[in-house]
Structure 1
Amino acid sequence: MEPTYPDNSEPTGLNRRALLRGGVVTGLGALVAAAPVFARPQATAAAAPGGPEPSAAELKLTKFKDPLRTPPVLRPRDHGGHDELTVRMVTADVTLHSELPPVTMWTYEGVYPGPTIETTSGRPLRVVWENRLTGNIPVTAVDFGLAKGPSPDPLTNYPGTDGCQEVPGVADLSPWAAVHVHGMLTGGGNDGWMENLIAPGDVQLSAYPNNQAATTLWYHDHTHHVSRFSVFAGLAGMFVSRNAEERALDLPKRDQEVPLLLSDRNFGLDASGALTGRLVHKVEMVGAQRLMRPHAGPYTLVNGVVWPYLEVEPRWYRFRIVNTANSRIYRLMLLADGRPVPGAFQVIGTDQGLIDKPVPVEGALNLSPGERAEVLVDFSAFRGQALKLVNTLQGVTPGAFDKRNDLLEPDVMQFRVTDRRPATRFTLPSVVSPTFTRVTHDDLPHDQPGRWVVLVGPGSANMPELWEMEEIDPAGITFPSAGIVQVQDAQGAVKTLRRTSMAYDDGNAFTAAHDGVEIWKYLNLAAAPHPMHIHLAHFQVLSRENYDIGGFDRVTRGSTRPVAFKSASVLEAHELGEKDVIRVGTAGQITAGPNGTPGELVTVAVRFPVVGRGVHHCHMLEHEQHMMRPLVVTPATHMHAMHAMHAMHTGGHH
């Protein structure tokens, strides 16, 4: 099963398959970057607006110098009742910026990001993921920190490893892999279980039903304990599913449908202070306890290009945006003349597909790691102008830097709007997906208790924790007690919750019924936000609420008084559709003080359309191994039989 490329995806004179067959692709990334077919066709205008700009002096690269690349497209071959595809993992040298030496990366098919896999919804897909990686992981992992607390200008803002120490064990990581198609509703045996690793020369065979809505997914490495380094090394790409409903919409297409895969990186320096192109994973360890801050790199990449530009016509565009960063939350704004463009983004799709109607974004579009959004943007009012897409923070002027919060260079990319009349006109549709419906009260289970997942700040292992909870009778409990949290809801009712599991290998996995619906409540008691991801499932967000978490004792690890409802929040535009990742906690600046960010309770209605063993976890990759728990979905009849047998053996029957 050879990979299938579109006719225009293979550079003239480049025998891609011959280069890939050897397992190591030296220089392919540079060839790909230089090949015209990988850059979007540039509009012919008398004088293009905008142009290159200097970045912060310490970063040494020019912004908006290189055009945005579009990843090549892989389309599977028809094999009768299903489609088939082979995707190879290879070590390759990739050009990320024209002023940066080629960067050695682990890739899918020799490019970063990997090729966009494009499929038709309803066509079952079988993929051979073939491991041809070579060498140890091409990442230098270092950390640094001050015993007295966080730095006001952390070294994560800058390239190089001066002032840092190497993280032991990373340099020797060999190329094992496990591929997860994030958001694909497939059984546990095909989900890319993170301990079912394949070595170089081996293959992972995965069958995907691919019967979900037209949507934007992504695929990435999911190796247990290692994903923060393997994804950083380059193992990520987009997966697109299309269907007849989407095609009938006549949305912007071809050059006006643009993928934007966001990520951040850092690079090494040589003895002279010049950038080497070596990937550097650098994190700050705060205080005497050495608490790890989530990774944040100073260089923003879009489709594998550092601070690119894109020439666009003065017309509507469709952007598929994926946050593939390890841990950085992107709060995206479009600026014209340095000022935000009101309602610039019209959200038409979320993680799991199109929504019923376009929803304008007021303020920033907040995407945490793993989240996706499809947006429409109208450039027609900006003929002959240059606009910037920026990452910003709450309380910071859009486009301004903030060193304390790892935002030395806020720019993401530049749009250069040509000064000419567009050839076609597009009208924003009043209805996007006529088949999408929001869940109602009648759709929800009212005869079973919901699941509680509590997110807590660093504990004895100096890492944040994920607690699975059960509701109990508070009689006889002394407060505060470790692992006991009381929650007072908007009606004043108090629930007492007891921790049942925390570590990945604790027993008592959540077990859900196939085709069932459950209510999950995520309560964040930590200072940082956490993007929570559920495998084998999809969900809709029911509510986002603010809670007073001052009653939680972080030393005792239990509540002295109930964590109490304060106010309801409004769901953001990209939270109104089907999801598989939800941010729990503020997307803005983490404020100083004993409790940091305000506490949040996010409630979701989860559906379980597939069966097997999966996981649920935080999608900040630096947190993943510490904030991950197994999840089992089983046929409802099996669950009933299990309960009956349990009752029999425990005295329910005599």
Structure 2
Amino acid sequence: MKTASDEIPGPPGIDRRTLLRGGAVAGLGALVSASSVFAAPNDAGPGGPEPSADGLMLTKFTDPLRTPPVLRPRDRGGYDELTVRMRTADVTVHSQLPPVRMWTYEGSFPGPTIETVRGRRLRVAWENHLTGNIPVTAVDFGQMGGPMPDPLSNHPGTEGCQEVPGVAGLQPWAVVHLHGMLTGGGNDGWMENLVGPGDVQLSAYPNEQAATALWYHDHTHHVSRFSVYAGLAGLFVIRDEEERALGLPTGRHEVPLVLSDRNFALDGTGALTGRLVHKVEMVGMRLMRALAAPYTLVNGVVWPYLEVEPRWYRFRIVNTANSRIYRLMLLADGRPVPGAFQVIGTDQGLIDKPLAVDGALNLSSGERADVLVDFGAFRGRSLKLVNTMEGVTPGASSTRHDLLEPDVMQFRVADRRPSAHFTPPRTLSAAFRRTAPGDLPHEGAARWVVLAGPGSQNMPELWEMEEVAEAEAQGITFPAAGIVQVKDAEGRVTTLRRTAMRYDDGSAFTVAHEGVEIWKYLNLAASPHPMHIHLAHFQVLSRDNYDVSGFDQAVRGSARPIAHLGAAKLEPHELGEKDIIRVGTAGQIRPGPNGTPGELVTVAVRFPVVGRGVHHCHMLEHEQHMVRPLVVGPAGHQHAGGHHH
């Protein structure tokens, strides 16, 4: 059976949007079961179960990939409507593991894939029916002298750890953010506008954006790292006529791959219990590393397999992990398949033409990629999708890099004649084009955001900056706290002064509705950070390497300018419209406070909606500290009435 978007054929002379609306049913909406959507073929292929890394106990490739059910809204005339219930459920994630208690949307993990049509306004009632305290045991561990070569987070259980205070008693408050939806601040899921059990969050989404895959998740302030880990995440797909006309793979040949990682508790006998464990390492007993759990889940199944035909497939990949960066490669007989991924879309929709990935497909937390893969040359064989690290042989483990088990899933290609019914289109979206110099603003200074790494409180810091006039900069003695100088490729030095750092520092970036701004993200830390802007979408203009050794970590300012080293290459999935971008080297973190080259990522941001939102790091373990408010308002309101009040 085809996907919900293609369930009803579109004969000539009948508007497909009308057909989709007419096909919706009353009640909560049309919920199509997982077995009938994106289903795999029934005939067995090659490959088979394999043992996982020592100590993980679960057998890889035992369970077939499960695809979330599709939930379609009902027609209310001028708009569509949907009710989605958050509820506590026991979810099977592996046949050798007891059911896992989770907080879910509609009882599944991930939640149902909400499928909509562009231009149909959507109203969603997010009902909170959650029960009990959060079903997650939060612990941490650490030792003096730096990170462990084989941290306890590589392994299940809580031995050697201490419980994180205040988590076990967390009650089921929630707020839903539809990540990537261009909607006003009142409907964006403001992280402090919580709803408790029995209450409902009402959100209206314009749905006026290109066909793409978004995702929805909990955004509760201070605790999203635990609530999303508990299971509150799901996929949201927008369809439109441009996408349909391309004839891309559909039905069982269009497969969502929702990536995440988890850890589990052990009982007194050393057996896995299925209880979720959020386990992080404290470096020097104070600095929290980002979460990296040993079990990889795809669509809520630990190390699944998928039976495929020898033909082209479309994969909608989304990284919903708290913090882990997935550097994905497809291996055949243990060797990478060159150009295996053909990127056709990014966070916010289709690009102009397919682009082959050279090396790994790097997706940080929150990023999405729409890719085509051709299994035609692999009939009767099995392949693996693996997570990799720079400097580590693809498919090999690296305990130091939290990669005890690198395998993600297995593909079993049927032994039959390859299908030649599909050829990737040369042109994808006629509406998409890369931002040209003439599209950029020529007035006003760029926004600067500096990612400064751990400060005096051993917490990662996000600094909002302003440019300092050259005359004023000459009077500064360097290094000075909160002052950073940057020398660009032409040798020009820009002096930046910190204006805000903490969430409640008071001031906020205030931007004009329908405006275009240049934002510059400068990473001075050893860790990469995925940066997300609400109420906006953007294109990445450039990625440049910088020498950050001139930054004085103790003083928290630059002793000498942060100097340009050279341009870095943008990856295919970074060339389209986006709402999140990784700033920092993917796949490798070298020791020392300035052990990895810094990066400056420049983006052109557009603000099509108004309201109060935030911009922040999407590593959920950093989100509490690396988040700042953002206000988008009508341009005329900013100066109305003069300055008499």
Asked whether the equivalents of residues 43 and 418 of structure 1 are also in contact (C-alpha less than 8 Å), the reply is no
What is the alpha-carbon distance in structure 2 between the residues aligned to residue 2 and residue 142 of structure 1? 41
The unaligned stretches of length 5 or more in structure 1 are 11-35, 650-654
CA contact (8 A) 1:9 1:38 kept: yes
Q: In structure 2, what is the Cα distance between the partners aligned to 1:379 and 1:43?
A: 17
Q: 3-state SS of the aligned residue for 1:426?
A: coil
Does the alignment pair 1:194 with 2:219? no
Match among 82, 91, 95 for residue 94 of structure 1 = 91
Partner-residue secondary structure (3-state), 1:115: strand
Q: Please state if 1:638 is matched with 2:634.
A: no
Q: For residues 121-136 of structure 1, what are the structure 2 equivalents within 5 Å?
A: 121-136=118-133
Q: CA deviation at 1:588?
A: 1.6
Q: Pick from 392, 395, 399 the counterpart of residue 391 of structure 2.
A: 395
Secondary structure in structure 1 of the residue aligned to 2:316: strand
Q: Distance in 2 between matches of 1:616 and 1:547?
A: 23
Aligned positions of 1:154-169 closer than 5 A: 154-169=151-166
Which residue of structure 2 lines up, in the alignment, with residue 487 of structure 1? 486
- Aligned: 1:111 with 2:121: no
SS of equivalent residue, structure 2 residue 255: strand
Q: Which amino acid aligns with 1:543?
A: S
In the alignment, what sits opposite 1:226?
A: 223
Which residue pairs with 1:559 in the alignment?
A: 558
Distance 1:593 1:103 in 2: 38
- Corresponding residue of 1:335: 331
Residue 600 of structure 1 corresponds to 599
Deviation, structure 1 residue 4 = 1.7
Q: Is it true that 1:170 corresponds to 2:167 in the alignment?
A: yes
- Counterpart of 1:184 (choices 158, 181, 184) is 181
Cα deviation, residue 49, structure 1: 0.6
In structure 2, the CA distance between the partners of 1:305 and 1:39, relative to structure 1 (3 Å rule), is farther
Aligned to 1:496: 495
Note if contact 2:464-2:499 (Cα within 8 Å) is conserved in structure 1: yes
- Provide the secondary structure at the position in 2 that maps to 1:541: strand
Asked whether 1:590 is paired with 2:615, we answer no
- Residue in structure 2 matching 1:141, options 135, 138, 141: 138
Q: Indicate conservation of the 8 Å contact 2:37/2:251, yes or no.
A: no
Deviation of 1:594 after TM superposition, in Å, equals: 4.1
* Residues 376 and 419 in structure 2, CA contact (< 8 A), matched pair in contact too: no
- In the superposition, the TM-score normalised over structure 2's length comes to 0.94
2:619 aligns with 620
Structure 2 equivalent of residue 14 of structure 1: none
> Contact conserved, 1:39 with 1:67, CA < 8 A, in 2?
no
Quote the offset at 1:377 in angstroms. 0.2
Give the equivalent residue in structure 2 for 1:287.
Answer: 284
* TM-superposed deviation, 1:37: 4.8
State the AA in 2 paired with 1:338.
Answer: G
Query: Does residue 436 of the first structure (1) align with residue 432 of the second (2)?
Result: yes
> Which amino acid letter does the alignment assign opposite residue 524 of structure 1?
N
Deviation at 1:476, TM superposition (A): 1.4
Could you tell me how far apart the structure 1 residues matched to 2:578 and 2:592 are? 32
Question: Which of the residues 257, 264, 267 maps onto 2:264?
Answer: 267
| Equivalent pair of 1:43/1:313 in contact (CA under 8 Å) | no
Secondary structure at 1:479 match in 2: coil
Taking the aligned partners of 2:597 and 2:138, their CA distance within structure 1 comes to: 32
Contact 1:43 1:312 in 2 (8 A): no
Give the distance between the partners of 2:204 and 2:519, measured in 1 at CA: 28
Alignment match, 2:373: 377
**Structure 1 match to 2:463:** 467
What's the secondary structure of 2:55's corresponding residue? Answer: helix
Partner of residue 70, structure 1: 67
8 Å CA contact 1:216, 1:241 repeated in 2? yes
CA distance in 2, matches of 1:149, 1:491: 38
Describe how 1:303-314 pairs up with structure 2 within 5 A: 303-314=299-310
Q: Say whether 1:5 aligns with 2:2.
A: no
SS at match of 1:310: strand
Q: Secondary structure at the match of 2:322?
A: coil
2: CA distance, partners of 1:218 / 1:272: 39
More divergent stretch after superposition (413-422 vs 607-616): 413-422
For residues 241-260 of structure 1, the aligned pairs below 5 Å read: 241-260=238-257
1:424 Cα offset (Å)? 5.1
1:428-447 deviation line (CA, Å, top 9, x unaligned): 11101111011100100011
How far is 1:587 from its partner?
0.5
Paired letter, 2:83: T
Choose 578-587 or 423-432, whichever is displaced more. 423-432
- Residue 118 of structure 1 and its aligned partner are, at CA, apart by 0.1
Tell me if structure 1 keeps the 8 A contact 2:38–2:252: no
Cα distance between partner residues in 2 of 1:362 and 1:235 = 33
Are the structure 2 counterparts of residues 423 and 585 from structure 1 closer, same or farther at C-alpha, using a change threshold of 3 Å? closer
**8 Å CA contact 1:545, 1:569 repeated in 2:** yes
Aligned position for 2:567: 568
Aligned-pair CA distance for 1:287: 1.1
Q: Secondary structure at the match of 2:292?
A: coil
Any conservation in 1 of the 2:40–2:308 contact (CA below 8 Å)?
Answer: no
Letter in 2 for 1:2: G
Whole-angstrom CA distance in 2 between matches of 1:209 and 1:40: 30
Structure 2 CA distance, aligned partners of 1:57 and 1:571? 37
SS in 2 for 1:116: strand
- The residue number in structure 2 matching 1:447 is 443
Aligned residues: 617
Q: Map Cα deviations across residues 199-226 of structure 1 (whole Å, 9 max, x no partner).
A: 0000000000000000000000000001
Q: Are the structure 2 counterparts of residues 533 and 266 from structure 1 closer, same or farther at C-alpha, using a change threshold of 3 Å?
A: same
Instruction: Extract unaligned runs of 5+ from structure 2.
Output: 1-25
What is the letter of the counterpart of residue 412 of structure 2?
R
1:417 matches 2:442? no
Q: State the SS of the aligned residue for 2:621.
A: coil
User: 1:460 and 1:560 mapped to 2: Cα distance?
Assistant: 18
Paired residues of 1:5 and 1:72 also in contact (CA < 8 A): no
Residue 625 of structure 1 and its aligned partner are, at CA, apart by 0.7
Q: Secondary structure at 1:169's aligned position in 2?
A: coil
Residue 203 in 1 paired to residue 203 in 2? no
Letter in 1 for 2:475: G
Query: What's the CA shift for 1:592?
Result: 2.1
Alignment of 1:120 with 2:117, yes or no, is yes
Instruction: Report the CA distance shift for 1:375/1:38 in structure 2 as closer, same or farther (over 3 A).
Output: closer
Q: 2:38·2:251 contact (CA, 8 Å) conserved in 1?
A: no
Residues 383-417 of structure 1: CA deviation (Å, up to 9, x unaligned): 00000000000110000000011000000000000
Deviations along 1:463-487, whole A, 9 cap, x unmatched? Answer: 1100000011303111111000000
Separation (CA, whole Å) in 1 of partners of 2:335 and 2:604: 38
Q: CA deviation at 1:149?
A: 1.5
Distance across 1 between alignment mates of 2:29 and 2:302 = 28
Quote the residue 1:32 is aligned against: none
In 2: Cα distance, 1:537 partner to 1:639 partner: 19
